[in-house]
């Protein structure tokens, strides 16, 4: 079984997808983490974020993998744990540029389809229902207001000791929404057969319950 959860940044996709995967004992696949890892590879190797040719060489050289641990799923570039580094402000603000590169998408979509072959999966991203797994049995398009998404990100940064204003975060979220939904290849878009779920004002438990109800139906 394939469950695709798409939607804009900070709509709650990965939090919910992880909990659903745990509840159903499915594989959880965080596709945003893959685009983030490629962005980090570029940064660490002083390759420009729009330099497709050299980014491709880095993707040949370095392998992205996931391992489950007591702290949840960890992301690796070769044998280096980069789970925290891929969530810094710099990577967050540049990942849209890297994820718009056609060859990067082609490679990662291939890898995501391979992961989905390994068993029942909950996969979250931007183009899972439209491109990666168009035949997924359940497709959810998760949204929330810009303000609520900025507040969620503000709390996340606050807990990490990162000081950013709410207004800056709202602007960054709007900017990333625009870039993600206006790129040429598989832009962020609700699949025709996806169910829209607005998580504004809902608790995590309430959203999980709604998703479980959708899956059961």
Of 29-37, 50-58, 148-156, 207-215, which segment contacts ligand DC by CB under 6 A?
Answer: 29-37
Beta carbons within 10 angstroms of residue 186's beta carbon: 18
Sequence-separated contacts (24+) of 93-98 with Cβ below 8 Å? 93/172, 93/176, 94/39, 94/43, 94/49, 95/32, 95/35, 95/36, 95/39, 96/176, 96/179, 96/180, 96/183, 97/49, 97/50, 97/179, 98/35, 98/38, 98/39, 98/42, 98/49, 98/55
- 184 vs 216, beta carbon nearer ligand DC: 184
- 40 vs 208, beta carbon nearer ligand DC: 40
Q: What is the smallest separation between the CB atom of 197 and ligand DC, expressed in angstroms?
A: 16
Q: Contact between 127 and ligand DC (CB under 6 A)?
A: yes
Residues 168-197: x/- map of binding to ligand DC (CB under 6 A)? --------x---x-----------------
Closest by CA to 134, choosing from 190, 180, 191, 186, is 191
Q: What is the smallest separation between the CB atom of 9 and ligand DC, expressed in angstroms?
A: 5
The site for ligand DC, by CB under 6 A, has a size of: 14
Binding residues (CB under 6 A) for ligand DC: these are 9, 31-32, 35-36, 95-96, 99, 125-128, 176, 180
């Amino acid at each position: 079984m394939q469950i695709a959860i798409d939607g804009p940044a900070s709509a709650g996709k990965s939090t919910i997808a992880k909990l659903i995967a745990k509840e159903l004992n499915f594989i959880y696949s965080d596709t945003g983490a893959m685009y983030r890892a490629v962005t980090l590879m570029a940064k660490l190797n002083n390759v420009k974020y729009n330099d497709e040719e050299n980014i491709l060489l880095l993707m040949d050289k370095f392998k992205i993998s996931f391992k489950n641990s007591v702290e949840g799923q960890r992301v690796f570039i070769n044998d280096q744990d980069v789970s925290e580094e891929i969530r810094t402000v710099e990577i967050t603000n540049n990942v849209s540029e890297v994820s718009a590169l056609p060859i990067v998408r082609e490679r990662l979509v291939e890898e995501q389809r391979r992961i989905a072959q390994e068993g029942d999966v909950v996969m979250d991203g931007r183009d899972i229902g439209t491109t990666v797994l168009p035949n997924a049995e359940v497709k959810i398009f998760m949204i929330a207001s810009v303000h609520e998404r900025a507040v969620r990100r503000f709390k996340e940064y606050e807990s990490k000791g990162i000081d950013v204003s709410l207004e800056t975060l709202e602007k960054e979220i709007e900017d990333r929404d625009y870039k993600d939904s206006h790129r040429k290849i598989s832009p962020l878009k609700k699949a025709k057969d996806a169910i829209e779920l607005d998580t504004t004002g809902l608790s995590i438990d309430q959203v999980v319950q709604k998703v479980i109800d959708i899956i059961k139906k």
